Amino acid sequence: MNTARKALCMWFVSLFAAIPSAPAFQAASGEGAVIGHLTQVEGTVLRYVTDEDDWVQLVKDSPVGIEDLLFCEENSKAEIIIPNNTWIRTGSATRLHIINLADNTTRMEVESGLARLYNKGSVAVITVATPFGSLLAPPLTAFDLSLRDDTVQVTALAGTVTFNYLK
């Protein structure tokens, strides 16, 4: 690479390094809100919009946040990455309701379908409510969750997750 190109590349690197990162969205309480986004979409992924009482189709890079009700249609897949180092991969016919997102927690309900969740953070915990009970995943864990009409299957892929059946 010639000297002029190297100088131009170094100038761009220094320019972008000097730009401050964007502040987090501010929640009503004054704390920064945690907003995730869809990093991968195959097929049809829908979000329920309460004001319109209807489902709308999402595309790659759509924001995902608190109180979002998502549905991954039959033969569809999606990946959601949350800034607290939670990764969610959904499969066919999966219905997912995000309850809370914060720096130290991801809380959701999975009502049906397949999901693989990764807790790649060192502080945050993931809690998942299902029709059969609730699951707790501490930092540095990964697990598969499969829900059918009358069964739930949880498979730990890394670390130890705890499932508490409803009584």
50-103: pLDDT as tens digits: 999 999 999 999 999 999 999 999 999 999 999 999 999 999 999 999 999 999
In this prediction the pTM is 0.79
Q: Which residue has the higher pLDDT, 19 or 156?
A: 156
Q: What is the pLDDT of residue 60?
A: 97
Query: Residues 92-97: contacts with CB within 8 Å, 24+ apart?
Result: 94/70, 95/69, 95/70, 95/71, 96/69, 96/70, 96/71, 96/72, 97/67, 97/68, 97/69, 97/70
Q: What is the pLDDT of residue 32?
A: 62
pLDDT band at 129 (very low <50, low <70, confident <90, very high): very high
27, 47, 128, 134, 146 from 38: Cα distances, Å:
21, 12, 19, 24, 21
Cα–Cα distance measured from residue 119 to residue 69, given in angstroms and rounded to the nearest whole number: 21
